[in-house]
C-alpha cells in the first residue's frame, strides 16, 4: 500500500455505518456442511509459504532495474499449477513521476489469471492484490532490501490460495473468475488503473473486485479486519461484514468519516474511479514494519491470515459460484457435483457426490495406465449428498483417476496420493 496522506473532505456521511449496525443481526447465515469442507482446507502454512517465496525475491520495488517481470512469472506459474489460465499483461509508462525517485519511463508487469465458467456468462468476479513492494529509511530514502511480506505478499498469497482451493475441489464458477496481481501500486496504483481502464474500454461486466492489501499482521488475540467501502458498493461492504462474521473468527470493522479515507490508497480505488463495485480489506492493527526492510514473514500471523482467506473464499463463492444466503444442494451441485478431498490425500480420502435424482452409482479408480485399482458398486442411491470413503494406505504415491458412472452421466476427477 502506498504512503498514507489524510485529506480534508468536509462533511462526512455516517449513514452507511448505521445501516451496518441496524442490519447486521439479520444477515447472519449458517455454514452448510458441504461449504465448510472448502473452508476447512484453507491452510495458513500454504499462505505462509507463498509469502516466503515472494519475500525471497529480496526486493519487489517496481522501478528497480529489470522491474518485476520475474515476480510476475512466478505468480503465473503458481496460478497455472492450479488450472488457471494465466498471463503477464506488460505495459509501458512514458514520462511518469514518483515523488520518492523522480521521473521515470518503465515497463510494468500485471498478472491476469482467468478461470472460465461452467456455462456461458459475460460477467466477471475479480480477486486482486498488488505484488510490488517498497521500503525506505526514516528519511524516505529507498532501501535495496524490500521483503514486503505483509505489504503485500499477504494479499497475493490469499489470491493464490483461492485458486488452490478451487482447483482442489474442481469447482466450476457461474461467472468468469479473474485472479489479478498488480504491479506499481506503490507509486500510484499504476497497474490497477491500467487494468480498470482497459475493462471500461472493453465494456466488461465486473460484478465485484475483492481487494486484499496488508492482511497478515496481527500481534494479539483481538482479531479485526477493516473493510474500506465505496459509495457505489455499500451492498458489497455489507456482504463483507456478514461473511466475515459468519465464516471467520475475525471481527469486521467499518470505518467512518476520515477513517475511511484510506480507501484511496489501494488498488480498489482505481476500480471505484472507473465505476466498478469493490471492497478493500486490510488488517485493523496496522503493521509496525510498514514500508521497512523488516516487513518479513516472521511477523505474519498465519492463523489470522488463514481466516482472512476464509472471508475471501466465502465472498468469491457468493459472487462467483452460488449465493451463500440461499445456498441449497442445487446451488452447491451447480458448482461442484463431484468432489474428492483431501486432494492430495495421504491415508484416506472421500469422494462426495451430489445426486439430483435416485440413481445407480458405479465408481472405479484407475492409475495412469488405465488399470483399475479400486472399484465400488452401489445400487439405487437416494437424492442428495452421497459419500464414498477411501482407504488410501495401500495405494502407491502417484496420480489416479476416479471415474463415476450413473444412469445419466459419466464424470472423472483426478486424485493425487502422497504418503
Residue 279 maps to which CATH number? Answer: 3.40.630.10
Are residues 355 and 313 part of one domain?
A: no
Residues 209 and 321 in one domain: yes
Give 374-410 pLDDT, tens digit per residue. Answer: 998 877 777 777 788 899 998 999 989 998 888 767 8
| Residue 333 pLDDT grade (very low, low, confident, very high; cuts 50, 70, 90) | low
The predicted pLDDT at position 22 comes to: 37
Residues 356 and 304 in one domain: no
Q: Shortest CA distance to 317 belongs to which of 23, 27, 114, 36?
A: 36
Structure confidence at residue 330 (pLDDT)? 54
Q: Provide the grid cell at 313.
A: 473464499
143: region left, alpha or beta (phi > 0 left; psi from -120 to 50 alpha): beta
Domain identity same for 356 and 286: no
Under a CB-based contact definition with an 8 Å cutoff, are residues 339 and 351 in contact?
A: yes
pLDDT digits (tens, 9 = 90+) for 280-331: 999 999 999 999 999 999 999 999 999 999 999 999 999 999 888 766 545 5
Counting beta carbons within 10 angstroms of the beta carbon of residue 362, is it exposed (0 to 12), middle (13 to 18) or buried (19 or more)? Answer: middle
Number of domains in the chain: 2
Whether residues 204 and 155 share a domain: the answer is: yes
395: containing domain: 337-417
In this structure, the answer to whether residues 70 and 170 fall within a common structural domain is yes
Give the chain's largest Cα–Cα span.
74
Predicted local distance difference test score (pLDDT) of residue 359:
83
Instruction: Encode the chain in three state secondary structure.
Output: CCCCCCCCCCCCCCHHHHHHHHHHHHHCCCCCHHHHHHHHCCCHHHHHHHHHHHHCCCECCCCCCCCCHHHHHHHHHHHHHCCCEEEEEEEEEEEEEECCCEEEEEEEEEEEEEECCCCCCCEEEEEEEECCCCCECCCCCECCCECCHHHHHHHHHHHHHHHHHHHHCCCCCCCEEEEEEECCHHHCCHHHHHHHHHHHHCCCEEEEEEEECCCCCCCCCCCEEEEECCHHHHHHHHHHHHHHHHHCCCEEECCCHHHHHHHHHCCHHHHHHCCCCEEEEEECCCCCCCCCCCCCHHHCCHHHHHHHHHHHHHHHHHHHCCCHHHCCHHHHHHHCCEEEECCCECCEEEEEEEECCCEEEEEEEECCCCCEEEEEEEEEECCEEEEEEEECCCCCCEEEEEEEECCCCEEEEEEEECC
The yes-or-no verdict on residue 150 having pLDDT over 60 is yes
Q: Do residues 225 and 253 touch, judged by C-beta distance below 8 A?
A: yes
Query: Could you report the per-residue pLDDT of 216-253, keeping only the tens digit for each?
Result: 999 999 999 999 999 999 999 999 999 999 999 999 99
Q: What is the mean pLDDT of residues 23-51?
A: 71
Mean pLDDT of 13-23: 41
**Of 329, 349, 380, which residue constitutes the final position of a domain?**
329
Q: Is residue 2 part of a domain?
A: no
* Predicted confidence band of residue 34 (pLDDT cuts 50, 70, 90): low
Which of 293, 309, 329 is the last residue before a domain boundary? Answer: 329
Q: Is the pLDDT of residue 21 over 70?
A: no
Say what the pLDDT of residue 414 is.
86
Kindly report the average pLDDT of the chain as a whole number: 88
On whether residue 5 sits in a domain, the answer given is no
Among 329, 360, 386, where does a domain finish?
Answer: 329
Q: Is residue 8 in some structural domain? A: no
CB under 8 Å to 404, separation ≥6 — which residues? Answer: 338, 351, 353, 361, 362, 363, 410, 411, 412, 413
**Does residue 394 fall inside a structural domain?**
yes
- pLDDT tens for 162-205 read 999 998 887 889 999 999 999 999 999 999 999 999 999 999 99
pLDDT band at 354 (very low <50, low <70, confident <90, very high): confident
Residues 154 and 300 in one domain: yes
Average pLDDT of span 21-46? 63
Q: How confident is the model at residue 28 (pLDDT cuts 50, 70, 90)?
A: very low
**CATH number where 390 lies:** 2.60.40.1930
More confident residue, 334 or 99: 99
Give me the pLDDT at residue 327, please: 63
Q: Residue 173: inside a domain, yes or no? A: yes
User: What's the pLDDT at 172?
Assistant: 82
Same domain, 268 and 165: yes
pLDDT tens digits, one per residue of 83-130: 999 999 999 999 999 999 999 999 999 999 999 997 889 999 999 999
Q: Are residues 271 and 177 in the same domain?
A: yes
Peptide bond into 152 cis (omega under 30): yes
Choose among 343, 341, 339, 348: nearest CA to 391.
348
Asked whether residue 7 is assigned to any structural domain, the reply reads no
In a domain, 239, yes or no: yes
Any domain includes 1 = no
C-alpha cell recorded at residue 211: 481487494
Beta-strand pair 85-98/102-115:
antiparallel
pLDDT band at 27 (very low <50, low <70, confident <90, very high): very low
Selection from 22, 115, 60, 14 nearest residue 295 by Cα: 60
Question: What pLDDT score was predicted for residue 264?
Answer: 96
Name the pairing type of β-strands 384-391 and 102-115: unpaired
For the full predicted model, state whether its pTM sits above 0.85: no
CA 11 to each of CA 14, 18, 127, 148, 232: distance values in angstroms, whole numbers, following the listed order? 10, 16, 32, 35, 18
Residue 17 has what pLDDT? 45
Instruction: State whether 152 and 213 are in the same domain.
Output: yes
Alpha-carbon span 325 to 170, nearest angstrom: 22
Amino acid at each position: 500500500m502506498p504512503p498514507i496522506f489524510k485529506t480534508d473532505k468536509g462533511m462526512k456521511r455516517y449513514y452507511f455505518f448505521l445501516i451496518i449496525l441496524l442490519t447486521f443481526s439479520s444477515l447472519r447465515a449458517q455454514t452448510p456442511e458441504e461449504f465448510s469442507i472448502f473452508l476447512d482446507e484453507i491452510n495458513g502454512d500454504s499462505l505462509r509459504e507463498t509469502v516466503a517465496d515472494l519475500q525471497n525475491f529480496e526486493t519487489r520495488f517496481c522501478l528497480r532495474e529489470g522491474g518485476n517481470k520475474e515476480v510476475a512469472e512466478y505468480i503465473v506459474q503458481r496460478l497455472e499449477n492450479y488450472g488457471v489460465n494465466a498471463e503477464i499483461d506488460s505495459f509501458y509508462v512514458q514520462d511518469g513521476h514518483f515523488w520518492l525517485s523522480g521521473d521515470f519511463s518503465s515497463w510494468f508487469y500485471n498478472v491476469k489469471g482467468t478461470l472460465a465458467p461452467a456455462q456461458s456468462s459475460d460477467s466477471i468476479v475479480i480477486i486482486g492484490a498488488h505484488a510490488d513492494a517498497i521500503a525506505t529509511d526514516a528519511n524516505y530514502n529507498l532501501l535495496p532490501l524490500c521483503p514486503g511480506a505483509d505489504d503485500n505478499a499477504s494479499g497475493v498469497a490469499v489470491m493464490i490460495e483461492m485458486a488452490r482451493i478451487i482447483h482442489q475441489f474442481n469447482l466450476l464458477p457461474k461467472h468468469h473468475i479473474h485472479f489479478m496481481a498488480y504491479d506499481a501500486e506503490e507509486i500510484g496504483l499504476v497497474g490497477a488503473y491500467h487494468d480498470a481502464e482497459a475493462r471500461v474500454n472493453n465494456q466488461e461486466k465486473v460484478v465485484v473486485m475483492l481487494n486484499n492489501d496488508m492482511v497478515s499482521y496481527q500481534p494479539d488475540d483481538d482479531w479485526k479486519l477493516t473493510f474500506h467501502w465505496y459509495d457505489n458498493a455499500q451492498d458489497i461492504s455489507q456482504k463483507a461484514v456478514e461473511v466475515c462474521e459468519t465464516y471467520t473468527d475475525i471481527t469486521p470493522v467499518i470505518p467512518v468519516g476520515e477513517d475511511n479515507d484510506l480507501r484511496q490508497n489501494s488498488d480498489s480505488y482505481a476500480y471505484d474511479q472507473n465505476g466498478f463495485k469493490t471492497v478493500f480489506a486490510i488488517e485493523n492493527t496496522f503493521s509496525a514494519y510498514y514500508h521497512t526492510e523488516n516487513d518479513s514473514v516472521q511477523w505474519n500471523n498465519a492463523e489470522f491470515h488463514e481466516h482472512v482467506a476464509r472471508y475471501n473464499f466465502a465472498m468469491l463463492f457468493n459472487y462467483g459460484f452460488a449465493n451463500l444466503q440461499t445456498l441449497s444442494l442445487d446451488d452447491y451441485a451447480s458448482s461442484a457435483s463431484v468432489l474428492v478431498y483431501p486432494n492430495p490425500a495421504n491415508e484416506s480420502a472421500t469422494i462426495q457426490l451430489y445426486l439430483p435424482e435416485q440413481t445407480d452409482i458405479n465408481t472405479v479408480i484407475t492409475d495412469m495406465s488405465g488399470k483399475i485399482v479400486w472399484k465400488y458398486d452401489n445400487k439405487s442411491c437416494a437424492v442428495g449428498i452421497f459419500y464414498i470413503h477411501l482407504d488410501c494406505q495401500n495405494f502407491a504415491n502417484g496420480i489416479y483417476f476416479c471415474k463415476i458412472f450413473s444412469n445419466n452421466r459419466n464424470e472423472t476427477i483426478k486424485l493425487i496420493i502422497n504418503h
